[in-house]
Amino acid sequence: MSSVTLSIDAMGGDHAPEVVLEGLQLFCRRRSDVNFLLHGQSDALAPLVSKHKLASRCALIDHPDVVSMSAKPSSALRKGKTTSMWGMIESVKQGEASAGVSAGNTGALMAMSMMILRKMPGVHRPAMTAIWPTLNGRSVVLDVGANLDADADQLVEFAVMGEAYARAVFGTKRPTVGLLNIGAEDEKGRDAVKFASEIMRTRDIGIEFKGYVEGNDISMGVADVIVTDGFTGNVALKTAEGTARLVSRYVREALTSSLLSKAGAALAASGLRDLRTKLNPSSVNGGVLLGLNGVIVKSHGGTDAEGFATAIKLAADLANSHYMEEVSSGLKRVSQLGIAPETVE
């Protein structure tokens, strides 16, 4: 595996920069093939870099301003070039880094990324992905927040981009694609979903389309890629994360309620550690903004160090993959077919 450089927004997130540097330290213990451009306020970052012994792996790039987690995208854009988020993206554009990572404001990150990196040819709107744990391993769900609504064309684009992304991340030669809907019957769902389903079923766009999937099917692993609009996807994602935390709390309370249950927990310690890992959102942290001329990974704003390390790993793996070329190839194939909802018979 060749050495890569990643660009990091060290000031983005609810607990930055401390969690960002702790995440970098965790990652650096596991991988020696990645170096970092660390964007942020040097006075705050330099002591943390020294504390975590990261000086040999990190180059500090000073930026006086920070995009707050509550800032509107328009306000963030006005600050522009003086912020750590802008600098992180600019390094990717200039080729100084192979990918960028931020746990900062989602709306601002999307707006800045689109302005600096621009959309790939054939993309109406970029989409944000999430890695979803399932009974069969993991699935990709998109969009999970970049676009509140999506028409049929955009849903088809999401399917093409998500399929290429899943191939790069999971190593699956031909990932299956499902379209999230309120039922499996053909007559159910919004017009945009029906049009998108018709396109994917009847046109040769190079994906293996499984048809409609319902919300309860996502965690069953019925498809490698689940396509939906950003509003629905974000609600589903937050609901799943909340359910995982609820189950974790129930299990913890049940196993500490009495001496007998504590003894049982001690005997089952190995299995419980595995369960805790699977239920921990940090183990699948990191969503990619698909459809841009560059790799940008969005970490959860409230993630812990382990979660940020997971997002860094995702960025490093993508930097060593060919997924952008595959996305471009898929979008070109769709464009050549001249697909539009009005052409569906």
- Strand pairing partners for 65? 83
Q: How far apart (Å, rounded) are the C-alpha atoms in residues 323 and 143? A: 17
DSSP string, 228-277: --HHHHHHHHHHHHHHHHHHHHHHHHHHTSSHHHHHHHHHTHHHHHHHHH
Domains observed in the chain: 4-117 (3.40.718.10), 127-280+327-343 (3.40.718.10)
**What pairing do the DSSP bridges indicate for beta strands 127-134 and 287-290?**
antiparallel
| pLDDT tens-digit profile, the chain (345 residues) | 568 999 999 999 999 899 999 999 999 999 999 999 999 999 999 999 999 999 999 999 999 999 999 889 888 898 888 999 999 999 999 999 999 999 999 889 999 999 999 998 878 888 999 888 888 888 999 988 888 888 998 999 999 999 988 888 888 889 999 999 998 887 788 889 999 999 898 887 888 999 999 998 998 889 999 999 989 988 988 888 787 778 777 777 777 777 777 776 676 666 656 656 655 656 678 888 988 999 999 998 888 999 999 999 999 988 888 878 888 877 777 776 665 544 443
Q: How far apart (Å, rounded) are the C-alpha atoms in residues 241 and 231? A: 16
CA 44: distance to chain centroid? 27
Q: How far apart (Å, rounded) are the C-alpha atoms in residues 318 and 314? A: 6
C-alpha dist (Å) from residue 319 to 168, 199, 322, 324: 10, 31, 8, 10
Helices of type H across the chain: 18-30, 42-51, 73-79, 84-93, 106-117, 152-170, 191-202, 215-218, 230-255, 259-267, 269-279, 305-319, 323-337
